[in-house]
Amino acid sequence: MNDSGFQGSGSRFNTRFESGSDVSAKQLNDLASGIQTSLPTPYLGKGTSVSYLPGGAIITSGEDDGGGPRLIPWTVQVFPNSEDEEAGLRWFIRVVRGVCNYTWSEFPFSPKTTTSGAALPILDLNGNKVYHNECIVKDYAVYPSGSYKSGTDELSDWMGGDAAIQIKNAAAGGADVWYVTVSKLDWWNKLSWDDSARLQDKERPWVSVFAHGSEAYTKILKPTQNSFSLHRLFLPQPNLPPSPSTTDFYQGNVIAKHIGYDVKKVASITWNNDTNRWDLVQYILHQVEIEIPYQQQSIWDYFIYNNSPPVNDYQIAVDAHFVGSIDNLALRSDLSAITGYTINTSNWWYDLIANTTSR
């Protein structure tokens, strides 16, 4: 093998190998183990998981601002906090606060009602608009009740001022798999319907720590889906005079049909019975991207000539709080409360870029 990489003056392994010497299998295994437990694990790019074995070092950026290297945003750590660690009783998760880029739209509300003439532009300033915003997520929003260990260092890179969430394995009454996720629901609380529902009301992405198989797992780890509305356009009924021309139609309303949602898995944590430790797999580092496209589809309908087309579809839907209009309305109500979990009532974010004109 070419072992020149181990002979440089800067190599920490230069005492293990001599140039031209044979290398045994045990030496290679020892080398691999030493690299795993002593070096930061590299970021392998979007979509690639990075695994940590017990004893692995915390990832840092290598930048030193005088207080030591800074932690890379969204790094997750699992650590013990007492002699009970072997039983899986006193382990904690903590996450480095980080930036989240996310979209926000005016769904499910349409500021435009019935008009006649040219078609309503989709997603323009007079219709529904999607804004690209940015915030730093600085605390946990959803976690098992009673599990939050408060932090005491406001300047800490870790969320909540070095706060942590206690987890237990299945033998200790918890679960053998846990998740850290970032989520967002595409819902504008324009009419204050959701003032008491924190996750909908604040219109920001949130961090959750939850167990596999829990109610939080069922409600939060949903498939990613787009927001969707129908835009109705009306022509006079055919075969009745006069014949419709290309401009002889009426615009209907843009009516919400489907709520958009996105969730990103930051890490999974699995109990290892062989080592009596947690194995952690990290899926995202540096920055989280939450993007929920808002789609509109135009459909043609007819009205009897000399009669007005229906003009109140939108208001009827609003008055009903979109019951009977939006097909997945339960996605919104499900997040109002989660059995066995606390929803943080403080602000878990601070804005870097935020649309405020429509809020």
pLDDT (tens digit per residue) in 48-98: 334 443 333 344 443 444 444 568 899 999 988 765 555 556 789 999 999
Mean pLDDT of 12-33: 50
Q: Reply yes or no on whether the pLDDT at 281 is more than 60.
A: yes
- Average pLDDT score over the chain: 74
The more confidently predicted of residues 276 and 180 is: 180
Is pTM beyond 0.95? Reply is no
Instruction: For residues 176-198, give the mean pLDDT.
Output: 90
**pLDDT tens-digit readout, 310-351:** 657 788 888 899 999 999 999 988 998 999 999 998 888 888
Residue 21 has pLDDT above 90, yes or no: no
Average pLDDT, integer, range 243-255: 61
The pLDDT of residue 280: 93
For residue 183, what are the contacts with CB-CB under 8 A and spacing of at least 6? 199, 205, 206, 208, 220, 261, 262, 263, 264, 290
pLDDT for 261 equals: 95
DSSP conformation letters of 156-217: -SBHHHH-EEEE--GGGTS-SEEEEEEEEEE---TTSTTTT-HHHHT-S-EEEEEETTSHHH
The residue among 206 and 89 whose pLDDT is bigger is 206
